Amino acid sequence: MLFSESTTGDVADLRRYVAASSDAEIFVRDGGSGAVIISDAADAGELPSGKRFASRFSGGRFGKAGGQWLFHVALWTPGDYRDEFLAWYQIEHLPILLECPLWDGCRFVEEAVQEGCQFHAMHQLSDAKALESEQRLRSRSTPWFKRLAKNDWFDGAFKRTLYRRAS
């Protein structure tokens, strides 16, 4: 996956980059400037340079089949916690979120970094109200979540950004 961040939210400008890539998607930052372009194509062609992520798992509907909202969560973990963190997200956290009818799906990817592990959860929502759902609240109150939350790198340190698909 190619993930390209832009400081501009000018959709017309961004569309010229994705014209040659049929799978590229543009999401504009909600309530602020900036955008991201996501492409699952092996050859991203004319897209602006970005970061290459390796897929780890996915669930539900995503990409063009997913909702209009992209909730991007950047999650850094120490290397010692990699396996437990991946297991928690895949086995417990994501399945609970997907119980919400407004939570369409997620692509969970990994970025190569010098120290620790950098993950990105690309959640797609049919409505931003999913972020206030009972399922999200429940997913953040389990014993497993609470055990991980005792670490200073967990939860509060994660970067969360909400985007809306460019129309």
Tally Cβ neighbours within 10 Å of residue 49: 8
**Rounded Cα–Cα distance for residues 142 and 95 (Å):** 13
pLDDT at 43: 55
As a whole number of Å, the CA-based R_g of the chain is 16
Cα 68 off chain centre by:
13
Q: Does the global pTM surpass 0.75?
A: yes
Closest to 26 measured CA to CA, from 10, 46, 45: 10
Structural domains in the chain plus CATH codes? 49-161 (3.30.70.100)
Backbone angles phi, psi at 38, to 5 degrees: -120, 135
Close Cβ partners of 101 (under 8 Å, ≥ 6 residues apart): 126
Burial of 77 (0-12, 13-18, 19+ CB in 10 A): buried
Per-residue pLDDT of the chain in tens (167 residues, 90 and over written 9): 889 888 877 788 787 767 666 678 999 999 878 999 998 875 555 555 688 899 999 999 999 999 999 999 999 999 999 999 999 999 999 999 999 999 999 999 999 999 999 999 999 999 999 999 999 999 999 999 999 999 999 999 999 999 999 97
